[in-house]
């Protein structure tokens, strides 16, 4: 099993969720986060003055899938999150040793 963490633009979240849900991946955790990447933030103007916003709002999407589904999930996220501009995000794939469903005690694939 693998944990997929995707950092994406907030305005693309609904499209990503819908794409994943349509493919049968409904269980996920979503958090509001801030961050910056290679662009280092953006410069904005307010009342004639420039200021740098170096931590931009993003959304972190986390889901655990069978290792055979990783490429499919990554493809769905990329298709729906991509704008082609800086700041589209990153995807991280992390190994998961064990999953336990608290309510029933089910483990691993049965607990996803």
How far apart (Å, rounded) are the C-alpha atoms in residues 10 and 19? 15
Q: Could you read off the pLDDT of 24-80 as tens digits, one per residue?
A: 999 999 999 998 887 776 777 878 888 777 888 999 999 999 999 999 999 999 999
Yes or no: is domain 2-111 CATH 3.30.70.120? yes
Tell me how far CA of residue 19 lies from CA of 11, 26, 59, 81, 108, in angstroms: 14, 10, 16, 10, 24
Looking at residue 73, what is its pLDDT?
A: 98
The number of C-alpha atoms within 13 Å of 91 and in the hemisphere containing its C-beta is 20
Q: What is the pLDDT of residues 98-112, one digit of tens each?
A: 999 999 999 998 888
Total-model pTM: 0.86
pLDDT score for 30? 98
């Amino acid at each position: 099993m693998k944990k997929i963490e995707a950092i994406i633009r907030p305005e693309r979240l609904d499209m990503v969720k819908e794409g994943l849900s349509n493919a049968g991946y409904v269980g996920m955790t979503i958090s509001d986060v801030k961050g910056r990447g290679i662009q280092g933030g953006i410069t904005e103007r307010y009342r004639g003055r420039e200021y740098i916003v170096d931590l931009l709002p993003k959304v972190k999407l986390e889901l655990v899938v069978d290792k055979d589904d990783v490429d499919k999930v990554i493809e769905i996220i990329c298709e729906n999150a991509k704008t082609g501009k800086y700041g589209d995000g990153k995807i991280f794939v992390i190994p998961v040793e064990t999953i336990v469903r608290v309510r029933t005690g089910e483990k691993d694939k049965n607990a996803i």
